[in-house]
């Protein structure tokens, strides 16, 4: 059973009376800002993944002394 046009109009009228026109338009503006910032975030994320990763070369030297086992030296 689907609601008729009169029932839909009554629900819309109640929503407008409860929240007022200013709050509804402000809410819709906030939703629009959220959607645009979400799209910008997706676009920025795609641009970051398109860049080729740079190879990282590690040139570390380990300083230390060679220590031999005393048991092997005795044998």
Q: What is the CB-side half-sphere exposure of residue 22 using CA atoms within 13 A? A: 0
45-70 pLDDT, tens digit per residue, is: 777 666 666 677 777 777 888 777 77
Euclidean distance between CA atoms 29 and 24, whole angstroms: 9
pLDDT tens for 8-27 read 999 989 888 888 878 878 88
Give the domain range for residue 32: 20-49
Residue 34 placed within a domain: yes
Record the pTM. Answer: 0.41
Residue 36 domain flag:
yes
pLDDT score recorded for residue 53: 62
Number of domains composing the chain: 1
Q: Is 59 a domain residue?
A: no
């Amino acid at each position: 059973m689907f609601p008729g046009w009169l029932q839909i109009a009554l629900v819309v009228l109640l929503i407008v009376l409860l929240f007022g026109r200013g709050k509804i338009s402000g809410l819709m503006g906030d939703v629009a800002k959220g959607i645009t910032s979400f799209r910008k975030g997706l676009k920025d994320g795609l641009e970051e993944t398109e860049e080729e990763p740079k190879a990282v070369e590690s040139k570390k030297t380990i300083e230390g002394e060679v220590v031999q086992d005393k048991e092997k030296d005795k044998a």
